[in-house]
Amino acid sequence: LRLFSGSANVPLAQEVARYLGIDLGPMVRKRFADGELYVQIQESIRGCDVYLIQPTCGPVNDRLMELLIMIDACRRASARQITAVIPYYGYARADRKTAGRESITAKLVANLITEAGAGRILAMDLHSAQIQGYFDIPFDHVYGSPVLLDYLASKQLTDIVVVSPDVGGVARARAFAKKLGDAPLAIIDKRRQAHNVAEVMNLIGDVSGKTAVLVDDMIDTAGTISEGARLLRREGARQVYACATHAVFSPPAIERLSSGVLEEVIVTNTIPVLEENRFKQLTVLSVA
C-alpha cells in the first residue's frame, strides 16, 4: 500500500499516514512558468495499491488538474490499483441540468477522473449521493456525521431540534435527528435568486425555546447558514449551532459566521481551514 498527497490538504494526509503507521510517498510537484503543473512520483509503485489524497477544493481547477495528473502518473508507472481519495468533491453542485444548455459538471469530473485511470473512489459527503452512479468503478461514499455526532453528543445539549437549511438536505438532517435521540426535525424552505445568494422564506416545524442544530453538507459563502440561523432566532430558538462536513468558506463566510448569531460552527478538516479563517465559535474536527 502506498499513500500520496496532493497539495490540497497535506495535514489531513499526514494524519491518515500516522494512523496507518506509514510515511507519505515521495512526490515532486512543480509549476511551469505558464502555470502548468508537473508531478513525479519518486519511488517505484509498480504493482502497488496506491491511494492518492486530494480534496478538489479551491482553487478547484488547480486541485482537480493536479489529481488527474497524479492519477495519470501512477497509471503510467504501472500501479496495480489507484484509489482517488477525494474528501471534498468539487463541482458537485451541478449534478443535473436545471436549465437548458448547462453542463453537468459533477458527471464531467467523474469522466475525467475515471479516464485518467482511477480504479476506485473514496469520497465524503457528496453534495448528492447519486454522484456515485456517475462512476462505473467501485465507490466508497463515507460520511463526516459519526465525527460530528460524537462531538455533538459530548456537548450534552438539551431540547435539540435538528434543522435542514433547505429541502434538499432533509434526508441528511433526518439521519442526524435519529442519531441524536430521535430529536424533532424542522425544515427551512429556502429559495435561491442567484448562485451563492440564499433567501430564506419559511420555516416548517417548531424551534421555539429549543437548541437548533443546522446541518448541511457544506458551508460556502455561509449565506445559507447565517440566514437560516437568523430565521431560527426570529422563530424563538434559544441558541443555534451549525454543523457541516465541508468548510469551503468563500468570502464573506467568516464575517457571516462570526457575527454572533451562531453559538458554534462545527466543521471537519476535509478542506483545510486557514489559520486566518479561524474564529472564536469555530470547531474543526478531524476525519483522518
Under the binding rule (CB under 6 A), the answer on residue 245 touching ligand R5P is no
Write down the least CB distance from residue 219 to ligand R5P, Å.
5
Give the nearer residue to ligand R5P in terms of CB position, either 2 or 190. 190
Q: Cell numbers for 280, please give them.
A: 472564536
Give the nearer residue to ligand R5P in terms of CB position, either 57 or 70. 57
Q: Where are the beta strands (DSSP E) in 66-178?
A: 81-86, 120-124, 139-142, 160-164
Under the binding rule (CB under 6 A), the answer on residue 125 touching ligand R5P is no
**Which amino acid, 92?**
A
Nearest to 151 by CA among 104, 213, 85: 213
Write down the least CB distance from residue 90 to ligand R5P, Å.
12
Binding test (CB under 6 A) with ligand R5P, winner from 196, 202, 208, 286: 196
Residue 177 near residue 126 (C-beta atoms within 8 A): no
**How many angstroms separate the CA atoms of 103 and 19, rounded?**
39
Under the binding rule (CB under 6 A), the answer on residue 213 touching ligand R5P is no
> Is residue 190 annotated as part of the catalytic site, yes or no?
yes
Query: For residues 53-63, b (16+ Cβ closer than 10 Å) or e, as one string?
Result: bbbbbbebebb
Stretch that binds ligand R5P, among 18-26, 56-64, 131-139, 221-229 (CB under 6 A): 221-229
Stretch that binds ligand R5P, among 80-88, 143-151, 210-218, 259-267 (CB under 6 A): 210-218
- Beta strands across the sheet bearing 81-86: 2-5, 49-53, 81-86, 120-124, 139-142
Under the binding rule (CB under 6 A), the answer on residue 66 touching ligand R5P is no
The angle at the Cα of 228, spanning 226 to 233, to the nearest 5 degrees, equals: 95
Stretch that binds ligand R5P, among 20-28, 37-45, 222-230, 231-239 (CB under 6 A): 222-230
Which residues have a Cβ under 8 Å from the Cβ of 156 and sit 6 or more positions away? Answer: none
Binding test (CB under 6 A) with ligand R5P, winner from 216, 268, 282, 287: 216
Under the binding rule (CB under 6 A), the answer on residue 145 touching ligand R5P is no
Count of CB atoms situated within 10 Å of the CB of 250: 13
Which of 178, 179, 190, 280 is the catalytic position? Answer: 190
- Which residues belong to the active site? 190
State the residues that interact with ligand R5P by CB under 6 A. Answer: 165-166, 168-169, 196, 198, 216-224
